[in-house]
Amino acid sequence: MGTTSRRPRFESWGRYPELQADVVPLHWTTDFPPSKTPATKYLPVGLGRSYGDVCLLEHGTLLLTPGMDRLLSFDAGTGVLRCEAGASLQQILDFAVPRGFFLPVTPGTKFVTVGGSIANDIHGKNHHVAGSFGRHVLRFELVRSDGSRFVCSPIENPDWFAATIGGMGLTGLITWAEIRLRPIVSRMIDYRGDKFHGIDEFFGLSQAAKTEYTVAWIDCVSTGRNFARGIFMQGEHTQIPGPLRRSKEARLVFPCDLPEFALNRLSMAAFNSLYFHKQLGKTKIGPVDYEPFFYPLDAVLHWNRMYGQHGLLQFQNVLPHATGREGMLEILKAITKSGLASFLAVIKFFGDVPSVGMMSFPAPGVMLALDFPIRKQVSFDLVDRLAKITLEHGGRMYSAKDARMTAEQYQAFYPQWQEFTRYVDPQFDSAFWQRVTGRRPLDG
């Protein structure tokens, strides 16, 4: 096991909460557990792209996995890739795209690890056809703090397979995994963007869409006749053979924390208006490269600094179709009224493809995700209110993005949590898990 280095802090993407922990970088799949397991709590972490505290553990030991990042084998006949759990989706794309393969499911950033993708059972723009990431995982190795290591798959230790997919790093350390990639013939995506005005037009476009990838950007700042306007974006891997080169590295870095006053109702309204009008006509059709289609935010590294030193809260929920329209309207009204929303709001229909994870977030219905700058009590109160509306409408919130759910809310969103505790490693814990099991109080 690598040497323990005291780091001032390991940040999640939202930079909130700030918690101190020891950080142990892992380089080999055999680095954990140490020969003598000290009386400490552990939590594996990847690239810290979760927004809240699911990747944080105060006074514990974070097992930092990105140094355990080798691609181990690839079968071009089946598309099956075996890699260590710290390998990032960026690494996989750099390897796979030139060979004519792509990820089966990808989130809105490629700077996440395979272990993190499994542990949060991430979803992407193709959820309605492909389901979440775990469905494309064939096997992985799980290492427990008592030194036991076992392979999990739908047929080998299937209960551990289900508990670990979406298991938030609590069931043990994933050391390697096998995932199935999908073939492509070009980097290019056949794109279509349609402007919409209001939630009903968004619902209509979502119901009519037949493409593999769909997502909409929605304006959560404007009111009046611009309330809930947006752009519905659809795409498909093109069938026309084209470039299969690897991507260039992002060079732009957000240089510093913006002062609090920079993000205000006016600047956010201006951005939302610009974004809406950047597409001139009602509909835009044409080929686009996969990078801006899937990862527009990855072009600027450390963009979370834009929210200033207090960081950001993300709110992400899903409401069932039966209550989705009314619930989302109530949520959108609460957000626009607060004037707090940022420019990065997305809304999408999830499909009814079941997740294999016991604690996975996706469910059939309509999903909303957006960021709020942290303005202490104001943003906390708003997110708490949105959580209440979610609960009243029979929905649930996403652990990977959360820093505010109460224990009561979490346990109502995920009633299977008690069954899940049977699989939690006795030496593993997280700040999130402490909060949602009622062992850590909420701020404010």
Ligand X SMILES: Cc1cc2nc3c(=O)[nH]c(=O)nc-3n(C[C@H](O)[C@H](O)[C@H](O)COP(=O)(O)OP(=O)(O)OC[C@H]3O[C@@H](n4cnc5c(N)ncnc54)[C@H](O)[C@@H]3O)c2cc1C
Q: Please state, in angstroms and rounded to a whole number, the distance separating the CA atoms of residues 313 and 444.
A: 14
* Shortest reach from residue 19's CB to ligand X, in Å: 13
Nearest residue (CB) to ligand X, 329 versus 346: 346
CB-based contact 295:110 (threshold 8 Å): yes
Considering only residues 33, 79, 124, 311, which one is a binding residue for ligand X as defined by CB under 6 A?
124
Considering only residues 173, 188, 268, 424, which one is a binding residue for ligand X as defined by CB under 6 A?
173
- Contacts of 281 by beta carbon, 8 Å cutoff, 6+ apart: none
Considering only residues 400, 424, 431, 436, which one is a binding residue for ligand X as defined by CB under 6 A?
400
The burial of 333, by beta-carbon neighbours within 10 Å (0-12 exposed, 13-18 middle, 19 or more buried), is given as middle
Residue 86 CA: distances (Å) to CA of 20, 92, 118, 311:
22, 11, 11, 25
Nearest residue (CB) to ligand X, 94 versus 381: 94
* Shortest reach from residue 123's CB to ligand X, in Å: 5
* Shortest reach from residue 23's CB to ligand X, in Å: 12
Nearest residue (CB) to ligand X, 17 versus 330: 17
Q: Please state, in angstroms and rounded to a whole number, the distance separating the CA atoms of residues 143 and 31.
A: 10
Site string for ligand X, 285-304 (x = CB under 6 A): ------------x-------
- List the end-to-end C-alpha distance of the chain, in Å, as a whole number: 38
What single letter denotes the amino acid at residue 149? Answer: R
The DSSP annotation for 142-168 comes to EE-TTS-EEEESSSSSHHHHHHHTT-T
Site string for ligand X, 94-113 (x = CB under 6 A): -------------xxx--xx
State yes or no: residue 85 binds ligand X (CB under 6 A): yes
Site string for ligand X, 33-72 (x = CB under 6 A): ----------xxxxxxxx---xx---------x-------
Nearest residue (CB) to ligand X, 48 versus 60: 48
CB-based contact 206:368 (threshold 8 Å): no
Coil/strand/helix, residue 83: strand
State yes or no: residue 360 binds ligand X (CB under 6 A): no
Coil/strand/helix, residue 439: coil
- Binding stretches for ligand X (CB under 6 A): 13, 43-50, 54-55, 65, 85, 107-109, 112-113, 115-117, 119-120, 122-124, 168-169, 173-174, 297, 400
